Amino acid sequence: YHDSKQKGRSVGAFVASMNKNLTRYYSRCCFQHQHQELLDGLRVCATGALKEYHRVNGALPERIIIYRDGVGDGQLGQVVEHEIPQLLKCFSTMGQNYSPKTSVIVVKKRINSRFFAAGARGLANPSPGTVVDSEVTKPEWFDFFVVSQSVRQGTVSPTHYNVVWDSNALGPDKMQRLTYKMTHLYYNWPGTIRVPAPCQYAHK
């Protein structure tokens, strides 16, 4: 988040679910340099979340799935080279043998792509839950688009997801299904939203 009133101030927000129903969250913020998107404090935030998870549940999570919002295509390599090593170091501090299966998915909302469904009345917005993972995606990436929300007016905007790390080996179908289901879990809105709920909680 970049504060428009205080141009030199940038804040990174981090939230993590603490229970299997995804109703309880740990949250933390860290200050960053101006216009900085890469999260230098990720290791500190993740360590705090893991300690809290252990306190609440009596054990550490075996699988971790991270939705990373706020970075563009040009920074994907930096996320892999800079942020993921921070995570791996964080895991090692929790115990010598602790190595959870981890997936990191970059979430991109500021895109120009639009999709339409052809019907009897012509072109219309795709139904919520529509996934596009071929033709307009890049063969060298594990990426896909999801139309998760409905709109009453205008053209619906899809969200682009890029899986940059996946030791969970969930595969496209499970990853896409999970991502869409996560858009149902924002409790301030009765329907689906454009991004997975943790991203929206972090923005709030």
Each residue's pLDDT tens digit, 124-174: 999 999 999 999 898 888 999 999 998 888 899 999 999 999 999 999 999
Indicate the SS3 state at residue 183. Answer: coil
Each residue's pLDDT tens digit, 82-95: 889 888 889 999 98
* Cα gap 86→8, rounded to integer Å: 25
Q: Identify the bridge partners of residue 117 per DSSP, sorted by sequence position.
A: 124
Indicate the SS3 state at residue 16. Answer: strand
* Cα gap 40→61, rounded to integer Å: 23
Nearest to 62 by CA among 93, 101, 89: 101
- The single-letter code of the amino acid at 192 is T
* Cα gap 49→42, rounded to integer Å: 10
Domain annotation for the chain: domains and CATH numbers: 10-203 (3.30.420.10)
* Cα gap 107→71, rounded to integer Å: 8
Asked if pLDDT for residue 9 goes beyond 80, the answer is no
Burial 68-106 (b: 16+ CB within 10 A, else e): bbbbeeebbeebeeebbebbeebbeebeeeeeeebbbbb
Q: Identify the bridge partners of residue 11 per DSSP, sorted by sequence position.
A: 31
Q: What is the distance of C-alpha 115 from the center of its chain?
A: 21
- Orientation of helix 42-57 relative to helix 84-93, angle to 10°: 40
Residue 114 Cα distances to 5, 162, 165, angstroms: 33, 17, 26
Provide the token pair at 120. 């009897």
Mean per-residue pLDDT, 94-115? 92
Residue 160 Cα distances to 46, 73, 111, 196, angstroms: 24, 10, 8, 12
Each residue's pLDDT tens digit, 42-83: 888 899 999 999 999 999 999 999 999 988 778 888 888 888
